[in-house]
Amino acid sequence: MIDQRLLPGEYREVSFSSYVQVAEAIQQMVVRGAPAIGASAAYGMALAAYTSTASDILAFKDEMFKAREVLLRARPTAANLTWAIDRMLQVFENSEPGNIDDLRQTMLEQAQLIADQDVQINKEMASHGAKLMGDNETVIHHCNTGALATVDWGTALGVIRMAHEQGKNPHVLVDETRPRLQGARLTAWELEQYGISYEIITDNAAGFFLSSGIIDRVLVGADRVAANGDVANKIGTYMLALAARDNQVPFFVVSPTSTVDLSLQDGNQIPIEERDPGEVLRIQFLGARVAPEGARARNPAFDVTPHRLITGIVTENGVVYPPFEVHLRQAVIAGEH
Amino acid sequence: MIDQRLLPGEYREVSFSSYVQVAEAIQQMVVRGAPAIGASAAYGMALAAYTSTASDILAFKDEMFKAREVLLRARPTAANLTWAIDRMLQVFENSEPGNIDDLRQTMLEQAQLIADQDVQINKEMASHGAKLMGDNETVIHHCNTGALATVDWGTALGVIRMAHEQGKNPHVLVDETRPRLQGARLTAWELEQYGISYEIITDNAAGFFLSSGIIDRVLVGADRVAANGDVANKIGTYMLALAARDNQVPFFVVSPTSTVDLSLQDGNQIPIEERDPGEVLRIQFLGARVAPEGARARNPAFDVTPHRLITGIVTENGVVYPPFEVHLRQAVIAGEH
């Protein structure tokens, strides 16, 4: 993994040899972004398989389900975590279990497949999304949804990247995304490398630019999408969606169907992770304290944007429009054929 | 002045001996907050008077109007700056101009009067505002509107302070207020000293808490209020107002009538200051860079909240409700009698 906590100051790749380390890396946000978390958890499961000392299939299966619990606990909101892990555990459902070495091999191949498919799915989403965009659009983007948040290419940022490659010359206002500054640190770092025009803004300035009439579109990713189209995404997405709606600016979510959780009727049922208050009280990765000694903080990592504020959801199976309750299910099923 | 750039890490009082230094202090935000800026500019004018070497009244008056221009340029949005300076220049309108020494004396007395009245006005607003509040309310507050933003006591924070002194036990969710972190640094510092319960949140988390149903009220200050009740205030206020409205949470602006600019029909006419992008790219007062080298940023310091999102405006002459176009003018005139 690239240690995303250190960017843009330092580029460092890190390796792990156990699923517990992978779970810690997910929890501490060495790796982040729903699709990247999913793929990392898949490799975590493969590591669990290869480091297992179980001598029979039943004991091995027990260990794999124990690993599942440890990895799931790392981040409660991202749907891709459950999705990827449960896809890894399908080895126990398919036909003959075979021997442990076969299962290990199958699980590693499955993890590699999840990673490879993620890149392909991202490019399909980017292609659908870029069709929506005209020339010279100014787009507001929240958090980081680029190559760093996925296996490669990106979701919302992938759409912008595709539009850029198509010569559409997008300009991005990058929400800095407090508290961890994924926009100012990671998205800006990616855009620098792609040669895409951008300016960083504070999250609370998005409303100013939306009401000024210069914004053509808002593009965000997702951490979990409920069956009715309510979207849990990085904290601040809801306020951004409100400001887009108040100014009639199209608001699109770019998210693979692996992020859709059809088991949840609406966004109220999505568990919202609350992280260490220290992320608010200090500036992450600088370690410097901004608040007075003794200060307390709250730090919800996500919020829920009601589907009524969302123009469309770009998936690898096409752009989904309201009524989301009907069309989202169709898009998910389309991918299962 | 207290150098507000250094808090909460360091408490340092600084003195100035020329109006140019005062203008610089306002521009660099050694002092900030519309009422505090107004009073500071008044003393700046008094300094201009006492440091003037003019030998006749006409030359003296020219110098005072030159000082006016320099001070006005320091921050374009805050109405109190114009208001206070023009009140200082009324010495040239009243009766006989007298001699220069008399004018100096009158101007110093006027500055002291502006400062003293600010404290009194703040307490009147606090009294009106606190009547709106019930016991154990949880309030979201943006930026800093306390004693530091005024001569003493505070506007929006003054209301909370009054409710606290009345035993109403308010709890404050303090918007950290990027980019300069006036909430996390200054408001938290004040609340610590008053013994008022609070937690800091990132600005983009306000929507999460508003939609969770735990917020009773949003209280903010103002930098300029147009005749129709549109309010220019610290960047982020508009998005906060949208989130309050979307969840039917009362949104009150607390602002002296000196912040009301009846010469402007609506908020579109309010000049919005855009500050140094470095405030976004670096963490202010730590000097540490968060964005990659070469990154650009936009940094509007204020936004305009349309009057349709505002429940009421608390002034020293009472709480003003819609239609603001009618009632705001009445409140301003009430103070002139």
Q: Which of A240, A205, A75 minimizes the C-alpha distance to B208?
A: A240
The answer to whether the Cβ–Cβ distance between A295 and B192 falls below 8 Å is yes
Average pLDDT of the residues of chain A: 95
What's the pLDDT at A95? 63
Task: For residue A143, give both structure tokens.
Answer: 């958090």
Whether pLDDT at B96 is above 80? no
Q: Which residues does chain A have within 8 Å of residue B291's beta carbon, measured at their own beta carbons?
A: 8, 176, 184-185, 188, 200
* Mean pLDDT, residues B119-126: 98
Average pLDDT of the residues of chain B: 95
User: Of B223, B230, B261, B303, which one is the catalytic site residue?
Assistant: B223
pLDDT tens for residues A23-44?
999 999 999 999 999 999 999 9
What's the pLDDT at A337? 58
List phi, psi (to 5°) of A176.
-65, -30
What's the gap in Å between the CA of B159 and the closest CA on chain A?
21
Whether pLDDT at B145 is above 90? yes
User: Helices (DSSP H) in A195-322: which residue ranges?
Assistant: 206-211, 237-246, 278-281
Whether pLDDT at B44 is above 90? yes
Sheet arrangement for strand A251-254: A197-201, A171-175, A138-141, A217-220, A251-254, A312-315, A318-320
What's the pLDDT at B137? 98
Q: Which residues does chain A have within 8 Å of residue B195's beta carbon, measured at their own beta carbons?
A: none
Token pair 């109190």 is at which residue?
A: B80
Tell me how far apart the alpha carbons of residues B216 and A38 are, in angstroms, rounded to a whole number. Answer: 38
Q: Which of A220, A212, A214, A134 minimizes the C-alpha distance to A175?
A: A220
Task: For residue B205, give both structure tokens.
Answer: 């988390």
Tell me how far apart the alpha carbons of residues A2 and A11 are, in angstroms, rounded to a whole number. Answer: 7
Cα A87-A329-A83 angle, rounded to 5 deg: 20
Q: Which residues does chain A have within 8 Å of residue B206's beta carbon, measured at their own beta carbons?
A: 239
Of A208-217, A241-250, A282-291, B160-169, the range with the lowest mean pLDDT is: A282-291
Burial of B51 (0-12, 13-18, 19+ CB in 10 A): middle
The answer to whether the Cβ–Cβ distance between A200 and B303 falls below 8 Å is no
List phi, psi (to 5°) of A283.
-90, 115
pLDDT tens for residues A285-300?
566 778 888 899 999 9
Task: Report yes or no on whether pTM surpasses 0.90.
Answer: yes
Of A306-310, B3-7, B242-246, the range with the lowest mean pLDDT is: B3-7
The answer to whether the Cβ–Cβ distance between A286 and B283 falls below 8 Å is yes
What's the gap in Å between the CA of A288 and the closest CA on chain B?
8
Answer yes or no: are the C-beta atoms of B35 and B89 closer than 8 Å: no
Tell me how far apart the alpha carbons of residues B67 and B133 are, in angstroms, rounded to a whole number. Answer: 42
Whether pLDDT at B280 is above 90? yes
B102 flagged as catalytic: no
**Closest-CA residue in chain A for B5?**
A290
Q: Which value does ipTM take for this structure?
A: 0.96
pLDDT tens for residues A214-240?
999 999 999 999 999 999 999 999 999
pLDDT tens for residues A187-210?
999 999 999 999 999 999 999 999
What's the gap in Å between the CA of A271 and the closest CA on chain B?
13
* Mean pLDDT, residues A157-165: 98
The torsion of the CA quartet A292, A297, A302, A308, rounded to 10 degrees, works out to: -100
What's the pLDDT at A283? 75
pLDDT tens for residues B235-264?
999 999 999 999 999 999 999 999 999 999
**Closest-CA residue in chain B for A233?**
B208
User: Of A223, A230, A261, A303, which one is the catalytic site residue?
Assistant: A223
What's the pLDDT at A290? 83
